[in-house]
Amino acid sequence: LPVKGLVKDSQYVFRVFARSEIGLSEPTESEPFTAKHMFTVPGRPAAPEVTGTDKKSAALKWTPPESDGGSPITNYIIEYRPKGSFNWTKANDSTVPDTTFSVTGLREKSEYQFRISAENRAGVGEPSEPTKPVLVEEPIDVPSEPRKFQPTEVTKSSVTLTWVPPENDGGSPVTGYLIEKKTKTSPRWTKCNKSPVRDTIYTVTDLIENDDYEFRIMAENAAGAGKATQAIGPIKAKDPFAAPHLEFDNKFRDVVKLQSGATLKIPVKYSGIPTPTITWSKEEKVLKTSGRVTVDVKDTTTTLTIKKIGVEDDGLYILKAVNDAGEISSKFDVAVIDVPGKPEGPITVEDVQRNAVTLSWKPPKDDGGVDIRSYIIERKEAKRTMWTKAGSVNGETLTFTPTGLLEGTEYYFRISAENEVGISEPLAMDSPVTPKSPFAAPSAPIGPLEVTDIQRDNATIAWKAPEDDGGSPITGYIIEKRDTKRNNWSKVGKAPAGSTEYNVPGLIEGTSYYFRVIAENKAGQSDPLETEKPVTAKSPFGKWNDSHNKSLCRPCLSNLCPYSRFD
């Protein structure tokens, strides 16, 4: 009889009664019984296999356990832990009925272990053995083949090979290169290097003279060795002839400029088969190590060194390399430069003005080997010791006009030449120069100073131009007046240069005045020309009064009298 509603893992005791028309018998009891399935949990799966990784995940596969416990497996539980950790983390939240799974959310460049547990109706079985620690990273492949594989030097016993790294490193850095060789008649390839070559150049040695060889190369990374290049060759092992070749810095192709006292150093690489003979010379004279000169020749380089170079070392140097295959030479033009010599004198003074002078000079005989960049002009007053800069001009200009000088003050000037190396010693004046106007003030206007018309509030004066304009045209006449009761003259106005007459306004009727005229030019003012006697401002018709008879005054009749009054 099936009994339902039992609780799993609980113990039960059952008893049975016999029943008849009369009643129930005594019961028969069973032994204690634990309620449980008739099947068990699955066995342990084998350790899973990591089939691949990328930056943050790992793909797993495994085989089911040998025993499913009598009930079909319904789920697999996948767990992982970082290397060195004791704590396992469940990777799947949902049911995994298959035997493959991708664990995500991992940390790049970290190592992890994985294990699998099988589950059926009875529960979860024991976990599998964990995997070995696996590094989580992008999947890598072997690198592609190297590029531009070629021989660069061949001798009777060796071949030097060069190449360029592969275009694709397979996702993992190239760790080295494997080079193989075979003779032209042999099908068997043999390794040339016992361990991978890290550089992109390698010399295969121990070849047999006059034998023909083929070579190939493959790149290697963490995933292994990649595909080999197509074989190059056949290459015959023999000493070739190669004409000499010289190689040096491009800066030596132009004129080499060095300041006097510096060290000249010209390093040159050379090559050729057989090894060339090296010769340095200057002006057809062979140079050898002596004193300041050092000629250094090594296997593949030569250097010419000259210490404390001077003007005598200026010139053309020739390097010649010669062997059985030919010869080659290179020229090196060396210019020793220095500060220029001082400008050529004397300093010539021209066009002396009231506040300026014009100086001129000649360029230095020695420009120091380079163009003069500028000339620097300095000045100082004769009574002072300190020089101050007056200005500068470019190297092609040989004149300068310093301005802002004080008339009547003695000045010394000196001039220095400048090039890219520095500034020369100055060329100084032997005697001072004094700025002054080249013109003189004009002489006084020619008198007498006449008063040609006198009125009650103005007067007209006239004069003649000076005999001597001082060498500079008259620019005008200054008119001044003075009350006879005063000592001070006051300026009235200015007459233009072409006029010799002026009407003085603003006079006070009845007041006596002196007038004077001063001629002026660029150099200054003349002595004044004065009226000999005072002049009184008044009407030529007398002072107006009520008895003024307009009928007897001719100006009144013409409406010209200043004292006329009309209704």
pLDDT, tens digit, for every residue of 289-318? Answer: 999 999 999 999 999 999 999 889 999 999
Average pLDDT, the chain: 91
Q: Give me the number of domains the chain comprises.
A: 5
Q: Are residues 370 and 417 in the same domain?
A: yes
Confidence of residue 537 (pLDDT cuts 50, 70, 90): very high
User: Quick one: pLDDT at residue 391?
Assistant: 96
Alpha-carbon span 489 to 482, nearest angstrom: 5
Tell whether 1 is covered by a domain: no
Confidence of residue 567 (pLDDT cuts 50, 70, 90): very low
* pTM of the predicted protein model: 0.42
User: Quick one: pLDDT at residue 548?
Assistant: 53
Mean pLDDT to the nearest integer, 217-223:
93
Q: Are residues 67 and 125 in the same domain?
A: yes
Q: Which of 236, 265, 280 is the last residue of a domain?
A: 236
User: Quick one: pLDDT at residue 554?
Assistant: 54
Tell whether 81 is covered by a domain: yes
Burial of 287 (C-beta count, 10 Å sphere; 0-12/13-18/19+)? middle
Tell whether 6 is covered by a domain: no
For every residue of 3-17, DSSP letters joined together read: ---PPTT-EE--EE-
Residue type, 121: R
User: Quick one: pLDDT at residue 547?
Assistant: 47
Q: Are residues 451 and 422 in the same domain?
A: no
Read off the CATH number of the domain in which 282 is found.
Answer: 2.60.40.10
User: Quick one: pLDDT at residue 273?
Assistant: 83
Give yes or no for residue 245 having a pLDDT over 90.
yes
Mean pLDDT to the nearest integer, 96-113:
95
Q: Are residues 530 and 463 in the same domain?
A: yes
Residue type, 106: L
Mean pLDDT to the nearest integer, 169-177:
92
Taking only the tens place, the pLDDT of each residue in 43-101 is 999 999 999 988 899 999 999 999 999 999 999 999 999 999 999 999 999 999 999 99
Tell whether 408 is covered by a domain: yes
Tell whether 89 is covered by a domain: yes
User: Quick one: pLDDT at residue 496?
Assistant: 96
Q: Which of 100, 135, 170 is the last residue of a domain?
A: 135
Which residues span the domain enclosing 171? 147-236
Q: What percent of the chain has pLDDT over 90?
A: 75
Confidence of residue 501 (pLDDT cuts 50, 70, 90): very high
Tell whether 551 is covered by a domain: no
Q: Are residues 225 and 248 in the same domain?
A: no
Tell whether 547 is covered by a domain: no
Q: Which residues contact 183 (CB under 8 A, 6 or more apart)?
A: 211, 212, 213, 214
Alpha-carbon span 68 to 71, nearest angstrom: 6
Under 8 Å between Cβ of 146 and 215: no
For every residue of 359-390, DSSP letters joined together read: EEEE--S--TTS---EEEEEEEETT----EEE
User: Quick one: pLDDT at residue 550?
Assistant: 54
Confidence of residue 331 (pLDDT cuts 50, 70, 90): very high
